[in-house]
Amino acid sequence: MSETPQSGNVDPPAGRERRAWVRYHSTPETPDVAITEEDDIITWKARIRDISRGGVGLVVNAEFIKDAVVEIELPNTDNEVMLVQLARVVRCLPLDDGVTWIVACEFLEELTEEELRSVL
In this prediction the pTM is 0.74
Type of residue numbered 73: E
6-53 pLDDT, tens digit each: 333 333 444 455 556 677 676 666 667 788 887 778 889 999 999 999
In a domain, 52, yes or no: yes
What's the total number of domains in the chain?
A: 1
Task: Report d(CA 45, CA 36) in Å as an integer.
Answer: 9
In a domain, 82, yes or no: yes
Greatest extent of the chain over all pairs of C-alpha atoms, in Å: 43
Range(s) of the domain holding residue 93: 24-119
In a domain, 48, yes or no: yes
In a domain, 99, yes or no: yes
Task: Report d(CA 110, CA 74) in Å as an integer.
Answer: 13
The CATH number assigned to the domain holding 76 equals 2.40.10.220
In a domain, 2, yes or no: no
50-71 pLDDT, tens digit each: 999 999 999 999 999 999 999 9
Task: Report d(CA 41, CA 38) in Å as an integer.
Answer: 8
In a domain, 75, yes or no: yes
In a domain, 55, yes or no: yes
In a domain, 87, yes or no: yes
Residue 73's nearest CA partner among 58, 62, 61, 54 is 58
